[in-house]
Chains A and B, each alone.
Chain A
């Protein structure tokens, strides 16, 4: 178990980073390294070139511009968890980040890494999908913006092309009566991988749900929007959404229906489906409380 040697690059700008990426056959970007270095140590991957993006100032920014929250891709989980700006904008984003790994991991792991690894169990994906976040992607050809909903393709596969760097995550301000929450289920109280998770964003007006987005995590090749659940919620009365109320039970079942879980060492397919039912209920109720 060792980190095989590589050519180390530490560009000061996105442009330079992209240039290095383009000129190497197998370069990998290094942000926190909490996945990358572990996989290299385990012998699962090898790279001739490693490009550290931790010195690129624009990747470390957190700001709000014209009702858009922008988070640099190399912002760490703990920076997100503790950011007053983000907490003020949408606390569920901070709360999601706080649920990742241990403190040591959160101090180095980044939001960009969490998304770009493309793991189905990633903990930032669900809430950001539910909030319909967009990604700004940089390359030598310029920047492109893509909806997160088009980013995840399969487990560990994203629409990021060779030579591209995720630079920013952009979340638009939700309307006033919106609640959001990320419910995570791990096998240990802390520092564990999600067995299943659900993010819920509920928009309401005058006691009616005007829009909803339920995203299920770790139960499909990518975090997945449950359209069935969304349809049930949209247009319902908020008062109908109480613990084990018929409508909420139905919502949970719908989300579970939309899942495509696998059996693995953490859980069976069946259990993941069961989990989604109750986690959906909880996520919705907590989202409403977070309103």
Chain B
């Protein structure tokens, strides 16, 4: 009974009308009309407006949309709403009883198990069903049972701790206390150095936290992007006639409808257009943008857009792309497709190698990995009648989005308001302006409606900006005692079609090798090459993990050559405090030696190295990173981070306004701790408003591991100004000179007679009564003149550098090549840990993410440049079942440039992981793997080649 013609269509539409279902959600009965094609997730989010249930992948792979259906966890994205007729659904909103949180929620908050929070609702519900079923679940059971809920932030370590704690609460037992030794530098501090739960954790545990996709504005419509299906082509014509006829379509924009302005990330390489002008350069390049009443209409209409492509030869391999005669992506620039060329020579490389007793070189190849934050990118743009646009977005960098939109729209910053909502993870992929942010603004302008645009998981991969795959030729020369005399590195970075962060990535690939070990002679040749693949960008550890993997691998190989212990050779060359590197970087605090000593001790290195049975191995890797880039991405004199504190007129509470972005790493909390400490108030008296360009002062945002140091300094300075004002008022009240007063723990007291005091609140109110608003402001700029004078000297500069070492123990299944990482012992020098629990969370997350990249992750393309694993089904990231035991330590340290002595942890902690695993696997199987990811297949091949 095929239905044809117009009547058939009407009949079909009639049959496909909504059905009424009855469903009990969180103990409330609903009668709702649902479309046949609506998933349970849409029913929950769109119809019932319960936005705590998150859409992560849409295909049942990530677990972010987990709800309990008749008590059992299910992925609501791949269940038809119609199928829950008559059933009982529990979402995160139904877990707490009124204001009383469920013990699981409580435990997740207390134990720091929530970072970006996007996986948290699903994770918490899964935990509930797990503990309902198995109140005494073992750690192994929990790890296994939780594997359907992916988390990209925490490394699952704190989640497991939280579940153990929740288990105790539910069983009426006292949870185990964490053994923790505070650092020396926080001994006299009240707020800094405390293991405080993140400010946003309660909202994230209860599903109240608002992410961009949770916002629904009145009259809002939806936008989608038409992406190129071919890797390289001239666009002959685009015909949107049929598509425009689809009911519900509001507007379709193509290259002809948008300005010619070029945009991008680094000003020296702005090479993207708002929409493809004449050419597409990769499968995924943006050809057209459409707005319609809903996404489904967009998709249907997009199928009717006719694009006439004249295909051009394409090139996918960077080394091929560099050859003469290879297809060119840009006719008028980037000769031989070389998008960035770095030629650095420090010291005298010839002399350095001549002085060496032993030289070894090898080629290492990295992998093309994707950040995969659990939350897909999303942006909503809305124009008012005063030519002002407001953009809600999931970004790491409000300011750079603000700046870029101002350029593209040719409007002053004041006509644009960028509001960062909660951000469900970034790791670098949200560290620059993206196509949704730009095109939602254009679509909203044309339609007069607010426009929401969001990526699917597949579109995230196609937008790209993941890690550059690097081909590294590394040569190191050492003396017989292990002293490094010379290092030579050539790195070819597979760039993809556009520049994105690539110029910086290339410089970083070279510069950061010199911050960890002392060596006087260094040559770096960097090439970033355009290929017809999605553009690569900045991913945690920006440009450095692959060179660091190569370096840590080769250093261990050399140690074996000269009969030296792997930790000893590192100690021999380890960076030291107040050192000026061969490439003109200034290291201040450095506790690298302490990190090495600690992991040696904790891991039982001396008893294990070289002594484990076949199939078991132990390895060390080290790393470190900048605590914020010394220079901004575009030239500007503005301070990098700024803060304003406003105290209530009654002195009861303070609000900190900062432009920097909390993407889950916890910066709001850390900055609040810094500000509260500086003011002399307790943590319960401060709240934070961050990353809203109309309200908060400029902050460059969350990239280059900069927020703790830079935002922290600005917040501390603002706090100090407030304190000064409060002291001045107290001086009047107490009739004592201001210099003799100090403030701490909500009291203003006489320094040499603390018994004599008044409350901070009273003093603050007194200030307001006579002086008006009690406001403090702070700003931070890195020291002037950082770095050398050579071309590219800016990249790698920073006020401070972190250091870390990690030892990893693995078990390799010698018959299949499968690796089980058993343990990590990780030590990090982040100076003062403003919040040790958050620092551990960063380190644990970095370790697991690094492990996942080393063992599992790689984007695979077909011979036409189409990605084959743009999902979480075929592109695997580590699950809880894969997690090793992570013992992460913070060594004593103090960074004079940082607030209260603090420096970075977020990216530096990733860097040691690559080499550590590679070295451990080599120790286990006796063969080295030179290219990432280190898959079971490669390992088995290596084992077989060895036994031949």
Q: In the complex, what residues of A have CB within 8 A of residue B221's CB?
A: none
CA distance A183 to B394 in the complex (A): 43
- If A103-B145, A189-B882 touch, whether A265 touches B80 (CB-CB below 8 Å) is no
Are B73 and A188 in contact, CB atoms less than 8 angstroms apart?
A: no
**Are A2 and B295 closer than 8 Å at their CB atoms?**
yes
- The residue of chain A having its C-beta at the shortest distance from the C-beta of B456 within the complex is A1
Closest to A188 in B: B876
A105 touches B295 (CB 8 A): no
Compute how far the CA of A108 lies from the CA of B40 in the bound complex, rounded to whole angstroms. Answer: 13
A-B contact pairs, 23 of them (CB 8 A): A1-B58, A3-B38, A5-B37, A7-B16, A24-B1, A25-B1, A30-B83, A33-B80, A37-B80, A41-B58, A102-B149, A103-B145, A104-B74, A105-B148, A107-B73, A188-B881, A189-B144, A189-B147, A189-B820, A190-B144, A190-B881, A191-B881, A267-B937
Residues in B whose Cβ lies below 8 Å from that of A107: 69, 72-74
- Measured CB to CB, the closest approach of chain B to A265, in angstroms, equals 5
Q: Is A23 an interface residue, CB under 8 A from the partner?
A: yes
- Which B residues are CB-close (under 8 A) to A24? 1
Which stretch (A123-131, A138-146, A211-219, A271-279) binds chain B? A271-279
Q: Which 7 A-B residue pairings sit nearest by Cβ, starting from the closest?
A: A102-B148, A190-B147, A3-B37, A278-B815, A190-B881, A189-B881, A5-B16
* Bound-state Cα–Cα, A279 to B815, Å: 9
Give the bracket for the number of chain B residues in contact with chain A.
35 or more
Known: A103-B148, A104-B60, A188-B881. 16 other contacts (CB 8 A): A5-B36, A7-B36, A33-B79, A33-B83, A37-B39, A37-B80, A38-B60, A102-B148, A102-B149, A103-B73, A104-B63, A189-B882, A190-B879, A265-B860, A271-B940, A274-B940
A40 closest partner in B (C-beta): B37
A52→B80 CA distance, assembly (Å): 10
Rounded to whole angstroms, the CA-CA distance of A2 and B224 in the bound complex is: 13
Q: Which residue of B lies closest to A50 (CB)?
A: B36
Question: Does A235 belong to the interface (CB within 8 Å)?
Answer: no
Q: How far is the CA of A78 from the CA of B1 in the complex (A)?
A: 38
Bound complex: CA of A1 vs CA of B831, how far in Å? Answer: 46
Interface residues of A in 147-191 (CB under 8 A from B): 185, 187-191
CB-defined contacts of A8 to chain B, threshold 8 Å: 19, 36, 80, 82
Indicate whether A101 reaches chain B with its CB closer than 8 angstroms: yes
- Asked if A268 CB lies within 8 Å of chain B CBs, one says yes
The CA of A237 and the CA of B74, in the complex, are separated in Å by 46
Return chain A residues, CB-CB under 8 Å to B66: 104
Q: Does A2 lie within 8 Å of B37, measured CB to CB?
A: yes
- The B124-168 residues at the A interface (CB cut-off 8 A) are 126, 144-145, 147-149
How many residue pairs between the two chains, A and B, have CB atoms under 8 Å in the bound complex? 143
Give Cα A249–Cα B2 distance, bound, in whole angstroms: 57
CA of A48 to CA of B456 in the docked complex: distance in angstroms? Answer: 25
| Contact in complex: A192, B36 (CB < 8 Å) | no
Set of chain B residues within 8 Å of A193, measured between Cβ atoms = 873-874
Q: Is B100 an interface residue (CB 8 A)?
A: no
Instruction: Confirm or deny: B856 has a beta carbon within 8 angstroms of a beta carbon on chain A.
Output: yes
Q: How far is the CB of B238 from chain A (nearest CB, A)?
A: 21
Q: A2-B299, A105-B60, A107-B72 are in contact. Are A187 and B936 (CB under 8 A)?
A: yes
CA–CA, A164 to B594, complex, Å? 70
Q: How far is the CA of A5 from the CA of B15 in the complex (A)?
A: 10
**Assuming the A-B contacts A104-B63, A185-B816, A189-B879, are A271 and B874 also in contact, with contact meaning beta carbons closer than 8 angstroms in the complex?**
no
Assess whether A5 is in contact with B35, with CB atoms less than 8 Å apart. Answer: yes
Interface residues of B in 442-501 (CB under 8 A from A): 456, 458
List CB contacts (< 8 Å) of A226-274 with chain B.
265-268, 271, 274
Known: A102-B63, A105-B60. A187 touches B856 (CB 8 A): yes
Q: Which of B75, B880, B941 is A104 in contact with, Cβ under 8 Å?
A: B75
Residues of B contacting A52 in the complex (Cβ-Cβ under 8 angstroms): 80, 82-83
Is A94 positioned at the interface, with any CB of B under 8 Å from its CB?
no
- A158 to B: closest C-beta gap in Å: 22
CB-CB contacts below 8 Å: B853-898 with A: 856, 860, 868-869, 873-874, 876, 878-882
C-alpha gap A105/B148 in the complex (Å): 8
Chain B residues near A12: list those with CB within 8 A. none
| Closest B residue by C-beta to A105 | B60
Q: Does A83 contact B (CB under 8 A)?
A: no
**Is A63 located at the chain interface by the 8 A CB criterion?**
no
Chain A 88-110 interface mask (CB, 8 Å, partner B; 1/0): 00000000000001111101100
Q: Is the CB of A275 within 8 A of B816?
A: yes
A22 to chain B, nearest CB (A): 11
Q: How far is the CA of A25 from the CA of B12 in the complex (A)?
A: 14
Contact of B148 among A3, A38, A48, A101 (CB under 8 A): A101
User: Which B residue sits closest to A243, measured CB to CB?
Assistant: B815
Q: Report if B406 contacts A (CB, 8 A).
A: no
Give the most central of A25, A188, A191, A281: most B CB within 10 Å: A191
| Contact digits for B42-85, partner A, Cβ 8 Å, 1 yes 0 no | 00000000000000001111010010010011110011101100
Residues of the B chain whose Cβ atoms lie less than 8 Å from the Cβ of A267: 937
Shortest B453–chain A CB gap in Å is 14
- Contact between A6 and B869, CB atoms less than 8 A apart: no
| A34 interface residue per 8 A CB criterion | yes
User: Is B935 among interface residues, defined by CB-CB distance under 8 A?
Assistant: yes
Which chain B residues lie closer than 8 Å to A279 at the CB level?
816
Complex-state Cα separation, A42 to B19, whole angstroms:
24
- What CA separation (Å) do A101 and B61 show in the bound complex? 9
For residue B852, give the distance in angstroms from its CB to the closest CB of chain A.
Answer: 9
Q: Which residues of A contact B147 (CB under 8 A)?
A: 102-103, 188-191
Complex CA distance for A274 and B947, rounded to whole angstroms: 15
Q: Mark A188-204, 1 if CB is under 8 A from B, else 0.
A: 11111100000000000
A residues less than 8 Å from B35 (CB atoms): 5
- Chain A residue with Cβ nearest B59: A38
Cβ of B769 to closest chain A Cβ, rounded Å: 58
A67 within 8 A of B: no
CB pair A6 B36 closer than 8 Å: yes
Within 8 Å of chain A (Cβ to Cβ): is B296?
Answer: yes
Interface centre among A37, A48, A279, by most chain B C-beta atoms within 10 angstroms, is A37
| Separation of A185 and B75 alpha carbons in the complex (Å) | 24
Say whether, besides A7-B16, A8-B82, A265 and B873 are in contact (CB < 8 Å).
no
Is A54 part of the binding interface, using a Cβ–Cβ cutoff of 8 Å? yes
Write the nearest CB–CB distance from B137 to chain A, whole angstroms.
12
Give the residues in chain B near A6, CB-CB below 8 Å. Answer: 16, 36-37
| A33, B936: Cα distance in complex, Å | 31
A241 vs chain B, min Cβ distance (A)? 16
Q: Which residue of A has the minimal Cβ distance to B37?
A: A3
Cβ–Cβ contact A266 & B882, under 8 A: no
What CA separation (Å) do A189 and B148 show in the bound complex? 11
B879 touches A191 (CB 8 A): yes
Chain A residues contacting B74 (CB-CB under 8 Å) are: 104, 107-108
A187 B82 Cβ-Cβ under 8 A: no
From the candidates B36, B39, B148, B456, name the one contacting A191 in the complex (CB within 8 A): B148
Q: A6-B36, A25-B2, A52-B82 are in contact. Are A105 and B874 (CB under 8 A)?
A: no
Task: Kindly provide the distance from the CB of B292 to the nearest chain A CB, expressed in whole angstroms.
Answer: 12
Query: Which chain A residue lies CB-closest to B1?
Result: A23
Residues of chain A lying within 8 A (CB to CB) of residue B19: 8
| Among B78, B296, B941, residue most surrounded by chain A Cβ atoms (within 10 Å) | B78
* Smallest CB gap from B303: residue in A: A43
Q: Are B148 and A278 in contact (CB under 8 A)?
A: no
CB neighbours (8 Å) of B856 from chain A are 187-188
Name the CB-closest residue of B to A185.
B816
The docked-state distance in angstroms from the alpha carbon of A160 to that of B679 is 74
- Residues in B with CB closer than 8 Å to A108 are 74-75, 78-79
In the bound complex, what is the Cα–Cα distance between A43 and B60 (angstroms)? 16
Q: Tell me the bound Cα distance from A33 to B38 in angstroms.
A: 13
Query: Interface readout for A47-61 with B: 1 if CB under 8 Å, 0 if not?
Result: 010101010000000
Q: Which residue of B lies closest to A189 (CB)?
A: B881
Decide: A187 and B78 in contact? CB cutoff 8 A: no
A17: shortest Cβ distance to chain B, in Å? 15
Q: Find A188's partner among B83, B879, B940 (CB 8 Å cutoff).
A: B879
Contact of A188 with B882 in the complex, beta carbons under 8 Å = yes
Out of A3, A34, A42, name the residue touching B39 (CB < 8 Å): A3
